[in-house]
Amino acid sequence: MNTKWLEWGQQLQALAQNGLTYSKNPYDIERYHQLRSLAADIMAAHTDTESTYIHNLFSQEQGYATPKVDVRGAVFKEQKILLVKEKEDGCWTLPGGWADIGDSPKDAVEREIYEESGYKTQAIKLVAVYDRNHHRHGHPPFAYHVYKLFFLCQLISGTPTISIETEEVGFFGKQEIPELSLTRVVPSQITRLFDHYADPTLQTDFD
C-alpha cells in the first residue's frame, strides 16, 4: 500500500507547526495556517475522517514538531506474554501508551503496565526502538509520527485487573496470540519479543 500521502501530510504539518512556533510575520503566520489546513485535507482525502477533526488535532500541537513516544512492556510468565484487550477496538495489545511529560521511559512503561493490567513490574531491558512509520512494520496509517519503545519487564506482583481502557487481561503462548490491535502492535513485534525473552543476550533492535 502506497502511503506517501501520509508522509507528505506529516511533513507539511511539521513545517506548519515549526513555522507557527518561530514566525513573527503576520503574512507568514497566515501561510503556515494554510499549510496546516492543506496537511489536514491531504489526510482527510485518504481516510474516512473529517478534515476539521484532523485540523483540530494538529492545532493542539505546539512548539517544535518532534515524533511522539509510545512505550510498550513485554511481561512473560511461564513462557507466555501479557496482553490486554482494548475497549476501543476489541483487540489485544501489549500494555502501554504515550509517555507522559515528567516520566522517564522506564517509569512510563511500568506505570502503563500497572494501570492497564494490575501487575507491578520492573523494566530490565530496552528491546527495540521502532519507527512506527517504517513500512516494514505494517501499522495502519496514523496522523502522527511515532517512535515506539519496547521494554522487556520482569513480573514482580499483582493480580489481573481491568482499567478504563482495557476489558480483559491474559497471558498467551507464542502460538496462542489473539487478534491484535494493529495500530498499537503487530505480529512481527510480538515474535521479536519472544526472541528477546528466549535469548537475553540479543542486542536492542532499532530503525
Per-residue pLDDT of the chain (207 residues; tens, 9 = 90+): 567 888 888 888 888 888 888 888 988 889 888 988 888 888 888 887 888 888 888 888 888 878 999 999 999 999 999 999 999 999 999 999 999 989 999 999 999 999 999 999 999 999 999 999 888 899 988 888 899 999 999 999 999 999 999 999 999 999 999 999 999 999 999 999 999 999 999 999 999
CA distance 51 to 28: 22
Q: Answer yes or no: CATH 3.90.79.10 is held by domain 68-206.
A: yes
Residues 6 or more apart in contact with residue 3 via CB below 8 angstroms = 135, 141
Cell readout for 116 is 492497564
Cα gap 158→165, rounded to integer Å: 18
Q: Are 189 and 107 in contact (CB under 8 A)?
A: no
pTM above 0.95, yes or no: no
Domain coordinates of the chain in residue numbers? 4-59, 68-206
CA angle 114, 115, 117 (to 5 degrees): 65
Nearest residue to 132 (alpha-carbon basis) of 84, 67, 54:
67
